[in-house]
Chain A
Amino acid sequence: MLQRVWNAFRASRVGRSIFRVGLPASNLERAQVAISSFLLHLQPAKVHKRTLKPSTTFGLGLISLYLFLILGVTGVMLMFYYVPATDAAYQNMKDLEFVVTAGRVLRNMHRWSAHLMVVFVLLHLCRVFYTGAYKPPREFNWVVGVVLLLLTLGLSFTGYLLPWDQLAYWAITVGTNIAGYAPLVGQKLKFLLLGGHMVGESALIRFYTLHVIVLPGVVLMLVALHLWRVRKDGGLARPDEPAFVQQELAPGQLPTSKTYGLMELARGSTPAVGLAPEDVVFTWPNLIFRELLLFLAVVAVVLVLAIFWNAPLEELANRVHPPNPAKAPWYFLGLQELVAYSALWGGVVVPGLLVTALVLLPYLDRRRRGLGVWFARERKVALTLFTVCLIAAVVFTTIGSLFRGPNWSFQVPWKPIPAEEQAFH
């Protein structure tokens, strides 16, 4: 019955005008689904079989994208109740918690997805590095990815201020002060970002505007570019196929094997017919179904977190009494730890070098050896360098997050802070 209504609808003018291709029955239609659908055409009609193997990417980039979508939806929902003003923002948080139907769970989803997105974007970066996927021809897409990482941090950081509680206020105060250590532009940047010398009403509206329109808009466009480049750069990075040897032809002799340029499906030189075709499968349904599964899994994880753990909300922001210790958001705590030793190192040298190194990486390390292989032996030096940096970042971030108590003194996380030190704030 439903089937018949659906068929009638599909056959009608309206139905045909909306859906260009129905559920595909033939290979032609399977290709058309991917090519002619607006959302699906970011993917090729056919993908390499390696793409489907979970261990190729662990779906890290896709998970980041899903989290971004969840953040977009929940974020727009939160905007229905949120007013970016210092005397209203915190009260709105309380309303979401106490009176709005499903308000708390939505806020929790938004908060935990934001943290997860930072984690998964970083993991995605590690994956791309460890499989050498930034090597030619994917150098530029790596740079786009680095920019997306910075934008993700920016999105999370700007969102951090919006609840206007102690946690938010002082994390942004500390975080923007780290930015203030940058030479020449640091203080000016901080002034511009905050719209003043301290976090206040103008900082809130600036962060809000950045958070809800500027940064998401840029991210959305760059994500589209990022995905499109994945496709145009030849799909996911994979080891070079067995070399196709161009036959040396004597003058006047015709080639014995025919080559095709697979327009839009692969870049560069012409793959030989008969060498590779069995390695590709149709995107619909093979890839699409797996993507759907991953989406369900991400939603499930976010829901579990949001149902059973509440997003933090501390006291109303108080610009006089900081909590002790006042900490930046966790992903900046490595830097805060470094700033505690040396403002120059934590505020300038390390973040500057890190970003520069990441951007330049694909242009410095250009050999195609080890492309698409996890921990390729040929890349010992690069792997070691990256791993050392990674471990250092993890160690400093862990120390900053868990091992720093009042007055930034060293503190083991399993020992509670004495009550007297908490009493006065």
Chain B
Amino acid sequence: MDTSLRRYYPWFAVLGLLVGGLVIVAYYKDQFREWRSWQQVFRKQELARANTPEARAEAARIPVEIHQLVLPGLNRVDRCITCHAAVDDPSYSGFPQPLAYHPNHDQHPFDKFGCTICHQGQGRATTREAAHGQVPHWDQPMLPMKYIESACGKCHLASDIPNAPKLARGRAVFEEVGCIGCHKLNGVGGMIGPELDKVGASHSPEWLMKHFKNPAAVSPGSGMPPIQASDADLDALTLYVLSFTGEEMSAYYVSMKSIPGQLAGRRLFQEKGCIGCHSIGGQGGKVGPALDGVGKRRSPDWIVAHFRNPQAVTPGSVMPQFNFTEQEIRSLTEFLLSVTDTNVVGFMKIPALMTSVARGKTVFQKYGCAGCHGAGGVGGIPNPNAKTAQQVPSLIHVAAGYTKDELKKRILDGQREIPSLDPAKPHPPLYMPAWRGRIAEGELADLVDYLMSLMPKADNLGF
């Protein structure tokens, strides 16, 4: 046996070179990073624009490095500004991407909000493809601009922001078609379909759109009826549902919701029943003075003082002291200041002043009855293999078949087992949930009044 090492020398040389070469390859592969070239472009641009020696010196000092926005409150780190280096620089407005200026960020400064909370994509990534989220194993590619308003819905109520009409429309469609009749959202709603709390985080707009038009096509075995609405409304609905991301945010962002304002004040005004004693536009109680134009008559300080202690400001007033918090007082005050003579008419729908039928209609919407029984209870929603013509029954004629008490009992008990047309086929997917314990007594009475009122006049005459 030849124990001489000499025959291994060539191997040694080859392996040594190979390992050395591989280390070099690894180094170069690591050093070539897309973002570097974009930073160079930005630097060159700054150098070209600099017209004083100081400006040139400053531009030359711009380091080529990764920039990031650390956003612990949003659980995000956004490195988008590494390539989009001029988002906060108005002098770059109209520039081609990635160097374009981002207008309108005064209320959402980048250092607090970053980029991906609205635009989605992968904030930590530093390559174009990965950052824009167009890679496998990333659930949230960048949101197409036509759906961007859904991002507002993560923090704001649709009714709170005037600049998001599509979001508001989406929410209206969501209520009209009665999604929560079957689905739970934030703990409210039916149990027939899956929860919606986080669906926006893991589904694409395309998927949602397809799902609304033909649920079974994208979710095999789904018993959900297709949603009857125009394409524009379905688009708005998609946008609204995309805002259900279930993200947890720190107090800084959540408190945005409770910053005192007109809208919060308006809600409080309703909730606390101010209208029981005061009136606006002639509607409401007569115990206290009418509030029309109160915003013009009284100073903010007066209103605040009045809320703290009515008798101190108006001796002999019978208005109780409500012990509002300071924030509630600010909100209510802001609301009252907005009540001037000109904006009284149609200012608000005050439930206490509506007819029971009108209130019942809002109950019908609130609990998503329309999801199965159709808008206005006209029926026509398919329920395959149900004995009732394979549809969810219409509610138009309930007045003919039920007394009020029977109808109440029917709603409270529900009907878990829907008789099958063909016992051999699968059970009908939709059923009537029991609403006992989930609907308030008053709401139930209003709802029954509304349902009874649906009977067409002509039919009524026949009996």
Mark A residues whose CB is within 8 Å of B.
49, 52-53, 87, 91, 94-95, 98-99, 101-102, 104-105, 165-166, 281, 285-286, 289-290, 292-293, 296-297, 299-300, 303-304, 306-307, 313-315, 321, 420, 423-425
Tell me if B421 is interfacial: C-beta within 8 Å of chain A: no
Query: Which residues B1-20 have CB closer than 8 A to chain A?
Result: 1, 3, 5, 8, 11-12, 15-16, 18-19
Residues on the B chain within 8 Å of A423, using CB: 207, 218
Q: Which of B3, B79, B138, B219 has the most CB of A within 10 A?
A: B3
A289 surroundings in chain B (CB, below 8 A): 5, 8, 12
Determine how close the nearest CB of chain B comes to the CB of A264; give it in whole angstroms.
22
**Cβ contact within 8 Å between B3 and A420:** no
A420 to B216, CA, bound (A): 11
Contact of A293 with B12 in the complex, beta carbons under 8 Å: yes
Report yes or no: B19 in contact with A296, Cβ–Cβ below 8 A. yes
A321–B126 Cα distance when bound, in Å, is: 28
B112 at the interface (CB under 8 A from A): no
> How far is it, in angstroms, between the C-alpha of A101 and the C-alpha of B219 when the chains are bound?
43
Q: How many chain B residues touch A (Cβ–Cβ < 8 Å)?
A: 35
Partner of B3, one of A102, A286, A300: A286
> What B residues does A297 contact at CB under 8 A?
15
Interface presence of B256 (CB below 8 A): no
**Min distance, Cβ A158 to any Cβ of chain B, angstroms:** 23
Set of chain B residues within 8 Å of A420, measured between Cβ atoms: 218, 220
Residues of chain B in range 58-89 having any CB-CB distance to chain A below 8 Å: 66, 75, 77, 79
Which of A304, A306, A313, A321 contacts B137, CB < 8 Å? Answer: A313
Complex interface: chain B residues within 8 A of A313 (CB): 137
A53: chain B residues within 8 A (beta carbon)? 1
**B457 close to chain A: CB less than 8 A:** no
What residue in chain A is nearest B25 (Cβ atoms)? Answer: A307
Contact A98 B5 (CB under 8 A): no
Closest 3 CB pairs of A and B: A296-B15, A303-B22, A94-B124
Closest to B28 in A: A307
Q: Are B202 and A425 in contact (CB under 8 A)?
A: yes
CA–CA, A99 to B8, complex, Å? 41
CB pair A98–B22 under 8 Å, yes or no, is: no
**Closest chain A residue, CB of each to CB of B217:** A420
- Which listed residue, B1, B122, B126, B219, touches A99 by the CB 8 Å rule? B126
Grouping DSSP codes into helix (H, G, I), strand (E, B) and loop, the A interface class, with mixed when no group exceeds half, is: helix
Known contacts A303-B23, A306-B26; is-contact A293 B8 (Cβ 8 Å): yes
> Does B233 have its Cβ within 8 Å of any Cβ on chain A?
no
Chain A residue contacts of B125, Cβ below 8 A: 94, 98
- A126 to B15: give the CA distance in the assembly, Å: 27
> 15 A-B pairs, CB-CB below 8 angstroms?
A87-B75, A94-B122, A94-B125, A99-B66, A286-B5, A289-B8, A292-B12, A293-B8, A293-B11, A296-B15, A300-B15, A303-B19, A307-B29, A314-B137, A321-B202
B30 at the interface (CB under 8 A from A): yes
* Number of A-B residue pairs at CB separation under 8 A: 80
What chain B residues lie within 8 Å of A285 (beta carbons)? 5
Besides the known contacts A53-B1, A95-B124, 18 further A-B residue pairs in the complex with CB atoms under 8 A apart: A52-B1, A94-B122, A98-B124, A98-B130, A102-B26, A102-B27, A165-B137, A281-B3, A289-B5, A293-B15, A300-B15, A306-B26, A307-B25, A307-B26, A315-B138, A315-B139, A420-B218, A425-B202
CB-nearest residue of chain B relative to A279?
A: B1
CB-defined contacts of B207 to chain A, threshold 8 Å = 423
Chain B residue, CB-CB nearest to A288 = B5
- Per the bound structure, the CA–CA distance linking A134 and B344 in Å amounts to 96
Using an 8 Å CB-CB cutoff, how does the interface string of B130-148 with A read, 1 for contact, 0 for none? 1000000111000000000
Residues of B within 8 A of A304 (CB): 22
A49, A98, A285, A290 interface centre (most CB from chain B within 10 Å): A98
Tell me which residues across on chain A come within 8 A of B138, comparing CB atoms. Answer: 315
- Give B222's nearest chain A residue, CB to CB: A424
The one of A87, A286, A296, A321 that contacts B16, using a Cβ cutoff of 8 Å: A296
Measured between beta carbons, the chain B residues less than 8 angstroms from A102 are 26-27, 30
A49 — nearest CB in chain B belongs to which residue? B1
Q: Which listed residue, B1, B23, B27, B79, touches A98 by the CB 8 Å rule? A: B79
Q: What are the residues of chain A within 8 A of B27 when measuring CB–CB? A: 102
Contact of B22 among A91, A300, A424, A425 (CB under 8 A): A300
Which residues of chain B come closer than 8 Å to A293, judged between CB atoms?
A: 8, 11-12, 15
**A316 to B, closest residue via Cβ:** B139
Asked whether any CB of chain A lies closer than 8 Å to the CB of B356, the reply is no
Question: Which B residues from 108 to 156 make CB contacts under 8 A with A?
Answer: 122, 124-127, 130, 137-139
Q: CB distance B30 to A105 under 8 Å?
A: yes
Q: Which residues of B (307-330) have their CB < 8 Å from a CB of A?
A: none
Residue of A nearest to B139 (CB): A315
Task: Pick the contact of B8: A101, A290, A424 (CB < 8 A).
Answer: A290
Within 8 A of A (CB), among B182-211: 202, 207
Q: Return A66 CB to nearest CB of chain B, in Å.
A: 13
Q: Shortest CB–CB separation between residue B114 and chain A, in angstroms?
A: 14
Distance (whole angstroms) from the CB of B158 to the closest CB of chain A? 27
Cβ contacts under 8 Å, B124 to chain A: 91, 94-95, 98-99
